[in-house]
Chains A and B, each alone.
Chain A
């Protein structure tokens, strides 16, 4: 086991990632604590049901830590994490569809189904959530990365292996369609 890295709130993600790669579990735990809530917001916006949120967050971090060798600092760790979260959510949707217990649209995307959330969400949020579920996945994720997470197009583009111009176009398409849907 590697010597634990002395951590502060300002310890860069890159240092924590390097420490995790040498076996420092506490560095991994710090990365989870640092990014789990932002990831949870992203997943919820993308349609994750709250009942599955903790498990989806865990699964995203596990996949990220296992494939961290592929992360070369091309974007922020958080942005990269969210693209993995998008894949985890997509796989979850497929599993639910196969089980056919609850229709995919209701299970994965309907954030208005939970009465607690319904009471909590403002009307605007509810309308936006309903609009997001009608968007193609790429547009939805680019919109959330930009509007919800406040990321730069360059960062989004690097995470999605596209160009900043293409990311900008996806965002504007998303906004235009949301305006049409959420009138």
Chain B
């Protein structure tokens, strides 16, 4: 079959079924379906939104429950961070007071404090005191 014969055949293809199509009836039916289906579409959209909202509630509720049962380690991280930050705002005397408390606690439990090159905390400068406190935080 050559190309011209193909084109001729293609032009005839479907001519019978197309001629039998009642286009006025088709147009009426299309309009009827267009009138009917927007309502169904808005219902569908409402249903989809309800499903999304329900899924969000389940996810958020689940996340809250999980958070309550297994607190994340993030909080511990924040606490350590805040303690370290607080050290920067302390004066030498305040730092020494804090270390005295630690010293008492450590002495009470029989553990020696890791003090760098000195047995007396009062001889340390603020930078050394901060290093000692941070090492105690672990």
Contact = CB atoms under 8 A, between A and B. Distances in A.
Interface of A: 25, 28-30, 32-33, 36-38, 40-45, 50, 53-54, 57-58, 61-62, 65-66, 111, 116-117, 120-122, 124-125, 127-129, 143-144, 147-148, 150, 175, 178-179, 182-183
Given A41-B15, A54-B26, A58-B26, A124 B21 contact: no
Please classify how large the interface on chain B is, using the bins under 10, 10 to 19, 20 to 34, 35 or more.
20 to 34
A128 B24 contact: no
B14 A43 contact: yes
B7 interface: yes
Contacts of A175: 3, 6
A179 B4 CA distance: 11
A29 B1 contact: no
Q: Say whether chain A's binding surface is mostly helix, strand, loop, or mixed.
A: helix
A29 B21 contact: no
A124 B14 contact: no
A57 B9 CA distance: 22
Given A33-B23, A45-B10, 11 more contacts: A28-B34, A37-B23, A40-B17, A41-B13, A41-B15, A62-B33, A62-B34, A117-B17, A120-B16, A121-B13, A127-B1
